């Protein structure tokens, strides 16, 4: 039997502008890791001095990176692709080299390419071609969501990287970690997508909460989602809330600064905050309100990254909260921009 490889390779993706931080996390987790940028400040190739299974376990475990948004294992690598060579041919090489799939397996095909690269066919066409061939060969069922396995391919100007993995091993089961939500008619703001993504990423069930406190709520993007989930919401912000929310019987609006309100101890089981303040000022405003969150309650807080030291910013802020809040995870979500979302629990 062929011995398992003691090395592994992955395609990793971060939010645009945060690739260097993501690479730094990889090197901290895996001393000796080699990173090569593939798409400008967003996608990079990772070579690790550790076997694939061990690498996945470390990156998806308690030490999951903050800035690595998505992983694609590399089980097949075709280099030295010549100019003009058909993408369909290189893809067929990968399909023939990868193991056969269990008959009837549900497979998500996630095909991506280097920024600005022109292939001989559109990715949608290549995806359909691969699905047809694998259906004929292995009887696979091509699906977009809730798959058994993911087949990933990434083209550069001279290489193709392909791999097969379980969805939970990719950090995100969306292609490149680019999770998409349907914009709704009359949606108050796109900020709602951040909280929707946090709900999925942190495996929360907002329907299970009863009383929510939204600090820095205006114009009400996050408040609207909490109301949709059936909560009674107290929204605090000196700014105006969206007119569609004003007469909701489940909503109490306090047009005040966060520093000018107080609530009974344990009044809420969920606290959310998406204020555009510096991390230090945000923590200063939240600290006096944390007694209103019941023991075991959840806090979802966005942390603005303003000074180019994101790891220190997360560490300093979690230390500020440490007496009352335990940091469960910090993650830069796809819908975050220059910020990180914190998931905390009340001690």
User: Which stretch of DSSP H or E encloses residue 293?
Assistant: strand 293-304
What is the pTM assigned to this prediction? 0.93
Cα 290 to Cα 31: distance, rounded to the nearest angstrom: 39
* Domain of 150, in residue numbers: 8-177
Task: Give the number of other Cβ atoms within 10 Å of residue 296's Cβ.
Answer: 9
Domain boundary among 145, 177, 209: 177
What's 281's domain CATH number?
Answer: 3.40.50.150
Cα 143 to Cα 263: distance, rounded to the nearest angstrom: 48
What's 135's domain CATH number?
Answer: 3.30.2130.30
> Are 332 and 217 members of one domain?
yes
H-type alpha helices, the chain = 19-29, 52-59, 87-97, 123-138, 191-201, 221-228, 279-286, 310-321
> Are 30 and 161 members of one domain?
yes
Active site amino acids: 304
Task: Give the number of other Cβ atoms within 10 Å of residue 263's Cβ.
Answer: 17
* pLDDT (0 to 100) of residue 159: 97
In this structure, the strands spanning 268-273 and 70-73 are unpaired
Q: Is 184 part of a structural domain of the chain?
A: no
Cα 263 to Cα 217: distance, rounded to the nearest angstrom: 16
CA distances from 15 to 174, 242, 271 (A): 14, 30, 26
Domains in the chain: how many in total? 2
* pLDDT (0 to 100) of residue 61: 85
Cα 178 to Cα 158: distance, rounded to the nearest angstrom: 24
DSSP 8-state secondary structure symbol assigned to residue 114: -
Sign of CA dihedral 306, 38, 331, 245: positive
Beta bridge partners of 162: 76, 153
Q: Is 186 part of a structural domain of the chain?
A: no
Q: Is 342 part of a structural domain of the chain?
A: yes
Q: Residue-wise pLDDT tens for the chain (347 aa)?
A: 345 679 999 999 999 999 999 999 999 999 999 999 999 999 999 999 999 999 999 999 877 899 999 999 999 999 999 988 999 999 999 999 999 999 999 999 999 999 999 999 999 999 999 999 999 999 999 999 999 999 999 999 999 999 999 999 999 999 999 999 988 877 888 899 999 999 999 999 999 999 999 999 999 999 999 999 999 999 999 999 999 999 999 999 999 999 999 999 999 999 999 998 899 999 999 999 999 999 999 999 999 998 889 999 999 999 999 999 999 999 999 999 999 999 999 99
Q: Is 1 part of a structural domain of the chain?
A: no
> Are 322 and 280 members of one domain?
yes
Cα 22 to Cα 193: distance, rounded to the nearest angstrom: 22
């Amino acid at each position: 039997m062929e011995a398992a490889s003691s090395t592994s390779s992955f395609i990793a993706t971060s939010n645009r502008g945060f690739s260097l931080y993501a690479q730094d996390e990889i090197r901290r987790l895996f001393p000796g890791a080699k990173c090569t940028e593939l798409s400008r400040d967003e996608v990079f190739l990772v070579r690790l001095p550790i076997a694939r299974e061990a690498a996945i376990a470390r990156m998806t475990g308690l030490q999951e990176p903050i800035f690595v948004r998505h992983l694609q294992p590399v089980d097949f690598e075709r280099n030295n692709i010549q100019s003009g060579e058909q993408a369909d041919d290189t893809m067929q090489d990968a399909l023939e080299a990868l193991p056969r799939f269990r008959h009837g397996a549900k497979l998500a095909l996630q095909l991506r390419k280097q920024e600005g690269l022109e292939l001989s066919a559109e990715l949608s066409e290549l995806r359909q071609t691969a699905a047809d061939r694998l259906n004929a060969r292995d009887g696979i069922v091509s699906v977009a969501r809730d798959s058994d396995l993911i087949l990933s391919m990434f083209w550069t100007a001279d290489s193709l990287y392909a791999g097969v993995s379980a969805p939970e091993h990719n950090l995100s089961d969306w292609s490149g970690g680019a999770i998409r939500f349907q914009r709704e008619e009359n949606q108050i703001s796109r900020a709602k997508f951040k909280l929707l993504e946090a709900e999925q990423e942190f495996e929360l069930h907002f329907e299970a909460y009863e009383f929510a406190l939204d600090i820095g709520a205006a114009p009400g993007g996050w408040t609207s989602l909490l109301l949709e989930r059936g909560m009674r919401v107290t929204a605090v912000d000196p700014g105006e809330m969206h007119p569609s929310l004003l007469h909701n019987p489940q909503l109490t609006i306090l047009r005040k600064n966060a520093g000018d309100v107080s609530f009974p101890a344990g009044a809420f089981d969920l606290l959310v905050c998406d204020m555009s303040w510096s991390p230090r000022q945000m923590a200063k405003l939240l600290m006096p309100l944390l007694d209103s969150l019941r023991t075991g309650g959840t806090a979802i807080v966005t942390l603005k990254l303003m000074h180019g030291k994101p790891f220190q910013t997360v560490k300093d802020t979690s230390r500020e909260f440490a007496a009352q809040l335990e940091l469960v995870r910090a993650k830069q979500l796809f819908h975050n921009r220059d910020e990180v979302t914190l998931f905390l629990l009340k001690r």
